Amino acid sequence: MKMLINGRLTGEEKIEIRNPYDNRVIDKVPAASKEDTREAISAAKKAKDEMISLTAHRISEALYDTSQELEKRSEEFSHLLALDSGKPIKAARDEVKRSIETLKLSAEESKRIYGETIPMDAGIGGKDFIGFTIKLPLGVIAAITPFNYPLNLAIHKVGPALASKNSVILKPSLKAPLSALKMGEILNEYFPPGAINVLTGKASIIGDELLKSDDIDKISFTGGFKTGKMIAENSGMKKLTLELGGNDPIIVLRDANIERAVEGAIRGSYLYSGQICIAVKRIIVEEKIADEFVQKLIKETSKLRIGDPLDPKTDIGPLISEKAAINVEKLVSEAIEEGAELLYGGGRDGNLFEPTILDNVQPSMRLVKEETFGPVSPIIRVKDADEALEVANSTCYALQAGVFTENIHEALRFASELEAGTVLINKQSTYRVDHMPFGGFDCSGMGKEGVKYAIDDMTRTKLIIFNKK
Ligand code: NAD
């Protein structure tokens, strides 16, 4: 596939993209040079004026038409996602459905970008003045996205950016770039040349140019903490949204509905092999019910099928690379050496890692201190709710957190005291609908996505004041 610069598909296709399941080459993509990146920046800069001249009505229709086109081509996109990201096809189909919705939400929100009237006379010296605000686009948005939801997370940036009349340069992850490239092609048919550009290639080459350019008004980044921190340190005065990693806990209290908690743990730990920012990465269980919880978790985990992502029966596909799988293997063996007990799984075959349950994990182990991106359920036993809260809040990440309890007082207490961007009661952290405000605190980043909230962060507020006299 080719890149998209200034409305043209371009670039020699030379970087091999491989299927993480069987390692075969499925496509090739270009390696953008500094010059390509600069050309994309200047095309996006030129397209700014044209975007501003379009009516919200026209933009809404264009986004809606794009969603219709994606809907027509759902199977093609699901297949692409399964091939380059190694995501099981049923999860890939879910991602495509959500992507269609995110585009529709963008089409809807593009018509609702309101300012407000300011009661100027409420302040000293405000008599006889009328004030109102309007929302203006920022200009050029650089969108940098990760491998794990390569289509929907790209649309979470590109949709709101175009909806609010910005132009965009999208840099998808080289680990799974195909669906974003294809999506760019579709959007390009409905928007002016240069309004959407998609670059593939070495992250540092493209990244350097984007970070240092004065023509980029905002960087909207989703990815790991380390990359996000580097971007924050090197992007000067640009506006920033950083959607970073997570180390989400679920907490299972003594009065929880255990079946419901087990179901949450299974979905949260193993969906897309745990390669999700809001995957359940720590399971904190009160000692009193821990044995029963663990037995049920083992039983349900044993029903999962590992295999080819294209097989509709597959629950667990490969990790994105062998390096990623080896890293998970290392973290699991290190935890075992330090006293954790392996109850299920633990095996690796190339990129495939078995769903794995470890009991008696300690909060100090790297497996749960860092963000482990794999199909692992680490059980941390605690004596009571106080300790559960302390352990849950003990990492620097604060993305989402789930609490399972039938006790309303505990639910309210955890809702207020858990350090997380979202607290879910009786639901695992691995839950998102695409219009909700989404984003964490601390090491999990800053700013919110969810179409309306992303638009807020992609616009500037201008105040206009009239002297009535
Ligand atoms: P990553 O940080 O390795 O890469 C993310 C993106 O940054 C990729 O496009 C990559 O090419 C790019 N990048 C890397 N170096 C760069 C540079 N020097 N300049 C510019 N861009 C550069 O992350 P990943 O492995 O693709 O994704 C997994 C991570 O993303 C996990 O930590 C996960 O939790 C996080 N994530 C967060 C959210 C969220 O919404 N909070 C959602 C999904 C994934």
Q: 123: Cβ–Cβ under 8 A, 6 or more apart, which residues?
A: none
CA of 59 to the centre of ligand 1 (A): 29
Position 48, amino acid: K
Neighbours of 338 (CB within 10 A): 13
Catalytic residue status for 396? no
What is the pLDDT at residue 453? 98
| Ligand 1 atom with the shortest distance to the CA of 228 | 2
pTM above 0.95, yes or no: yes
| Annotated catalytic residue within 101, 277, 354, 410 | 277
Q: Would you say 113 and 139 are in contact if contact means Cβ atoms under 8 Å apart?
A: no
What is the pLDDT at residue 416? 98
Relative to beta strand 196-198, strand 167-171 is parallel
* Alpha carbon distance, N-terminus to C-terminus of the chain: 62
Q: 161: Cβ–Cβ under 8 A, 6 or more apart, which residues?
A: 141, 143, 167, 168, 220, 454, 458
C-beta 421 within 6 A of ligand 1:
no
- Per-position b or e across 189-209, b if 16+ CB within 10 A of its CB: ebbbbbbbbbbbbeeebbbeb
Q: What is the CA radius of gyration of the chain?
A: 23
- Taking alpha carbons only, the member of 68, 87, 44 closest to residue 320 is 87
Q: Atom 9, ligand 1: which residue's CA is nearest?
A: 173
Give pLDDT tens digits for 203-248.
999 999 999 999 999 999 999 999 999 999 999 999 999 999 999 9
Distance (Å, rounded) from C-alpha 186 to C-alpha 51? Answer: 17
What is the pLDDT at residue 50? 97
C-beta 243 within 6 A of ligand 1:
yes
- Rounded to the nearest 5°, which phi and psi values hold at 341? -110, 125
CA of 192 to the centre of ligand 1 (A): 28
C-beta 246 within 6 A of ligand 1:
yes
What is the pLDDT at residue 93? 98
CA of 146 to the centre of ligand 1 (A): 4
| Annotated catalytic residue within 95, 109, 209, 243 | 243
The residue behind tokens 């350090």 is 419
What is the pLDDT at residue 254? 98
What is the pLDDT at residue 337? 98
Q: 62: Cβ–Cβ under 8 A, 6 or more apart, which residues?
A: 162, 190, 191
C-beta 148 within 6 A of ligand 1:
yes
Distance (Å, rounded) from C-alpha 94 to C-alpha 439? Answer: 21
Q: Would you say 34 and 101 are in contact if contact means Cβ atoms under 8 Å apart?
A: no
Token pair of 365 as six digits? 């182990």
Residues of the chain with pLDDT under 70: none
Give pLDDT tens digits for 16-28.
999 999 999 999 9
Instruction: State what percent of residues in the chain have pLDDT above 70.
Output: 100
State the burial class of residue 420 (Cβ atoms within 10 Å of its Cβ: 0-12, 13-18, 19+): buried
Q: Count of residues for the chain? A: 469
What is the pLDDT at residue 404? 98
Looking at the chain, the number of H-run helices and the number of E-run strands are 15, 24
The residue behind tokens 């300690």 is 362
C-beta 207 within 6 A of ligand 1:
yes
CA of 225 to the centre of ligand 1 (A): 8
What is the pLDDT at residue 456? 97
